[in-house]
Amino acid sequence: MHTVGVVTPEPMKYNEFTGQVQHRLEYAQIGQAVRATRAVLTTLGERLPEGEATDLASPLPMEIDRYLTTATHGQRFDYQEFLDRVAEREGVDRSDANYHAQQVMAVVASVVPPGNIEKVDNGLPEDFDPLFELVETADEQDMA
């Protein structure tokens, strides 16, 4: 008889993360998913204070966390400017940028502890609420 140890979840791997983004955005090419991820997280990193960006980034795969941590932190801009920056970086229009940002954040939220997501959500102005539209909060998961 052997005992079964407690299994700690494996940190998500880079290709697993980008694969989830690719699947959610229904992209044929992984490069498109990487571009969307980079555009969203770099722009979010610019908006967040450095500490919050680092907290959000730490559970993410190393190749992805750098988008958040190497940005020029603490810039002040509203959600429309956020979408404009994402759209420009990714080469898409604003409505696609919004959809992509929501999907990328949903994947991020599947990796990052809920408290870190809530801290980011609470630290941003109310007009950023659409960014978290597809993120299930701990309360919603309890009700499911």
Q: Is the pLDDT reported for residue 85 higher than 50?
A: yes
Instruction: Enumerate domains of the chain plus CATH numbers.
Output: 14-143 (1.10.490.110)
**DSSP structure class, residue 60:** S
Largest CA distance in the chain: 60
Please give the pLDDT value at position 144. 43
pLDDT, mean of residues 103-128: 95
Q: Show the CA angle centred on residue 53, arms to residues 25 and 14, nearest 5°.
A: 45
The pLDDT mean for the chain works out to 90
Please give the pLDDT value at position 50. 95
Please give the pLDDT value at position 11. 72
pLDDT, mean of residues 67-88: 97
- Does this model's pTM top 0.85? yes
Please give the pLDDT value at position 105. 97
Cα-based distances in Å from 104 to 5, 27, 32, 64: 33, 13, 12, 11
pLDDT, mean of residues 105-126: 95
Q: Is the pLDDT reported for residue 80 higher than 60?
A: yes
pLDDT tier at 10, thresholds 50, 70, 90: low
